[in-house]
Structure 1
Amino acid sequence: MKLSDLIKDEGIVVVPGCYDPLTAKIVENCGFKATYLGGWAAGAHLTVTEPMTTLTDMVDLARKINVNLNIPLMIDGAAAFGNLAAVTRTVREIELTGVQAIHIEDQVVPKRAHYHKGVIDLISPREMVQKLEKALEVRKSKDFLIIGRTDAGRNKEEPFENAIERANIYASIGVDMVMVFPRNMDEVRMAPEKITAPLVYVASEGLGRPIPTPAELQQLGYKMVIYPLTPILAAFQSVRNVYTTLKQNGKSGFSQEETARLSAEVLEIISIPELIKLEEESYQ
């Protein structure tokens, strides 16, 4: 099912993050209906950091993820990787990979590393409206969703009303969804009450933001929830723990039975049984 159809259905769309083809297939294998490639996770995966991640990096990852993925992929389009002139290329390059949704943010370009310390610099609402209008104009299909993201309201002492004001400006020009960043439960409740577009909640585990359940978010009025950091944090912790054990004890800690089971599960997800069946049929 297309992502554009999923957001028309009743209920909230739960979109776990991925950072490579295998983690995307895990999302699919677990029964979720869509997955998300975020800049934070991509930058960590490539070890270049999010501010240094390029359009080419995201396009390459998206293309590789979509080769064997059977559910919709949405992507972090940063600030369109440039000024207004960059929007056309960003939207068309990403849409050509088969991605079904992009969010574009109102941060300055180039993105500052201080974003990761909670110091956020924004372009004017007028500049952002021009970017979003261009994105809506140049997309090939209306099924390719354009999500307006505002990072207003995230700086220390900044009122969340700034985010609501920008979100409604972006909603007024016809974007498909809007993304904001409530910092506490009062703001989590306030956003769907005061914003006029379908809302995406960013459940960034590890960054101190409240993480309500999908059911709670649906009840509050959100239409989608994404989990951008979860896969890279899970992988980092698991791999580091295993290799720490290997360094200390000379063994990874896996039993033979466990490695056999995990190996079989990986092969299943990447379709080895299907390839074996095709080979058997071709040799008959």
Structure 2
Amino acid sequence: MLPEKPFLPITSRDNPRLKHLRGLLEHASVRRKSSQTVLEGIHLLDAYQRAGKIPDSIFIAESAQTHPEANDLLDAWPSVARFILPDALYKEMRTLGQGIDIMALIDTAFVALPEQLNTDVLILEDVQDAGNVGTLLRTAAAAGIKQVICTKGTALVWSPRVLRAGMGAQFGIQVIEHADIKEILERLTIPLHATSSHANQSLYALNLKTPIAWLMGNEGQGASQIALENAISVSIPQPGGQESLNVAVAGAVCMFEMVRQRLI
């Protein structure tokens, strides 16, 4: 095993590393410019470690350095730079509530849109709520979908809120961001399905056993007109008479109907 890195103290809020970390936590522009983000809390760091990935550096509060779960992570990454902060300084910066005060700085690689889209894929078109995006990523990963494409209007998948909602799903799937819906449609070689409350075709009447592209649209407006013109519009029967389902719930219903059919 590699020798363990020593803890390096940070005691000033004006420390450049701390300023950069705070910028990543608070500003999407900093995350985009640096191609980095912050994982906050033991559960996200554990998911990152279980995915076989290694962070750039770790930041921990003094009171957390002896916690068994924190030590397990530190033992798994002995060569990663680690910085220790006074509890008061750490609490000024954190966005989580009570817990094990540890976070990691990670790199986020840019992924280009493939020339052909021919395997199961989830497309998020202008889905703006961070909780919905994170939930959809987590659901896609659970359903075995390995590729998720987000249009330019979709919440950023590496933001702290989406990371927390995704619970580490980002680490096991390929996520493509800032894609243009027209370009996505041009590269699809498999059927595209989009949910619509006005569609006559029921989800449960479809054959979902071959590769499929699912499109989930904006919370308020739904899928765009150009997407609907190029998709098979499907409805989810709602005997209770509600106008529509939350987009994350609709996505889960669709993806797990696909799973159900393929397990038969």
The TM-score normalised by the length of structure 2 is: 0.24
More strand, by proportion: 2
More helix, by proportion: 1
